[in-house]
Amino acid sequence: MKTTLMAVLLTAAMLGTSHAQRQRQARESEPEVPMMRPEEARAIQAQRSEFFDAIRPVTQTARLSTVWIWADTGRGRKPVGFGTVVGDGSKVLTKWSEIAMAEGTILVVGHDSASAKATVAGVYQEDDLAMLTLDGAKFQPVTLAKGDAPKLGKMLVAASPEDSPAGFGVVAVESRSLRDSDQAFLGVGLEPKYKGSGVKIGEIQKGSAALDAGLSEGDVILALGGRSVNSSFELRNALTGHRPGERVEVRYQRGGKDAVANVLLKEKKEYEGVPNGRLRMMERMGTNPSLVRSGFPAALQTDMPLERDRCGGPVVDLDGKVIGIAIARADRTRSFIIPSAHLTQILATDPSSVDAARLAMEKEEQDRQAVAQNQQDDEDGGGRPAPRMVPMKRQSAEALRRHLTDMERLMERMREEMEGMDEGE
């Protein structure tokens, strides 16, 4: 029965992509849990509206400094993200990767529908931020909060040019560098179904710090660096503050017996697949992640379900203080925010030129493709010829991306149907 159902669902998925263009609008308005009954969806929507009404006042000041960014990236002029007004009101920070390929005039639109033409004055490449200069117009600049970034569990709200906030969530991992060279990397994938104390190792990456220290699949990590860990979030937070090359004590259990490993932390190899890659792929299903969603020098991780075209605007705490800018939607469970303290630092420096930023993007993509090809050659034993790179029109690339997104959503529904059948056995 399962085999038959899977075949039917796969056929439906293939046919569904041919209708993606005219059905996309309707699907994007669906909740992220597509199998809910109508009455459940209505109840959740009502509660969501009530909650947004309650938190709306905290974003009203930041809203005045939040703008829409309109640009033509191959499908006509449309909103591609938010921007945050800075400086004397004639400058706007926005997400660079969303406008890097824009053609023609970039338009900035404020909360009161006032608009202004903008040009890219420079780029902060590592932070994926572009600095726009407004043509003969000024908006209200944002006031960035001073002091430390919000701690674990603090609620945050993303401002919007519209009356309602763009989203809300809590700090899941405190501010840290997401650059591979700065990240202390243990190299383990966790067993998601484990329910006991600590976190159980499901996979260990080849050549990782964990493997070198003698840890094995099935070991249960109880503490790292003296901090107890009972979830993946706590393990990431325990690694925060440690850098590659440092030694850290890991307390764990194996076969019910306590043990201690002295682990020499390594850096995460650039472009290398992480453990539990299948789980990460499932995490991306059902959402449209940002083009650039990692590698930031400083970022807070939250569970805020921001849409990709709602990144770039200010984020506030429950006191209305602007604690940062929403920079990326990573997957279904993670969004990243650049803290205000880091924004203050980069605003005191000069951005790179647009031409230099574009060359850097091209070089990064070439490096990524080269590494991916080397990995494929290793898997194939060198027997498969390298694929020929075929230039693709921007419109075709956008259409392909939409179809892939539609397929991911359909596959997510299929997975939930299959899980429902397993639970009923």
- Residue 140 contacts residue 88 (beta carbons within 8 Å): no
**The predicted structure's pLDDT at residue 236:** 83
pLDDT reported for residue 179:
82
Least confidently predicted of 52-56, 99-103, 359-363, 366-370? 366-370
Is 135 among the domain residues? yes
Q: What is the pLDDT of residues 263-283, one digit of tens each?
A: 999 887 643 444 445 445 555
> How many Cβ atoms sit within 10 Å of the Cβ of residue 249?
12
Query: Looking at residue 215, which CATH number applies to its domain?
Result: 2.30.42.10
- Answer yes or no: are the C-beta atoms of 238 and 229 closer than 8 Å: yes
Does 206 map to a domain? yes
Residue appearing with tokens 């006042």: 57
User: Which pLDDT value is given to residue 407?
Assistant: 60
Q: Which residue has the higher pLDDT, 182 or 155?
A: 155
3-state helix, strand, coil in the chain (%, to 5): 35, 30, 40
Could you tell me if residue 69 is inside a domain? yes
Please indicate, yes or no, whether residues 72 and 111 belong to a single structural domain of this protein: yes
Q: Which residue has the tokens 């060279």?
A: 181
Domain boundary residue among 267, 282, 302?
267
> Are residues 191 and 261 located together in one domain of the fold?
yes
Are residues 255 and 192 part of one domain? Answer: yes
Q: Is 276 part of any domain?
A: no
Q: Judge if 74 and 121 occupy the same domain.
A: yes
- CATH label of the domain that carries residue 119: 2.40.10.10
Q: How many distinct structural domains can be found in the chain?
A: 3
Question: Is 248 part of a structural domain of the chain?
Answer: yes
Mean pLDDT of 199-220: 93
Tell me the average pLDDT across 225-229.
Answer: 93
Query: Does any domain span residue 139?
Result: yes
pLDDT recorded at residue 283: 53
Strand partners, 301: 173, 336
Q: Is residue 170 part of a domain?
A: no
CA distance 52 to 153: 19
Q: Using pLDDT thresholds of 50, 70 and 90, give the confidence band for residue 389.
A: very low
Measure CA of the first residue to CA of the last residue in the chain; give whole Å: 12
Q: Are 324 and 149 in contact (CB under 8 A)?
A: yes
Distance CA 123, CA 332 (A): 28
Question: What's the mean per-residue pLDDT of the chain?
Answer: 81
Contact between residue 191 and residue 279 where contact means Cβ atoms under 8 Å apart: no
pTM: 0.68
**pLDDT average, residue stretch 112-131:** 96
| Assigned domain for 291 exists | no
What range defines the domain where residue 25 resides? 1-30+389-425
Domain boundary among 143, 166, 192: 143
Closest CA to 13 of 291, 307, 329, 417: 417
The DSSP code for 272 is P
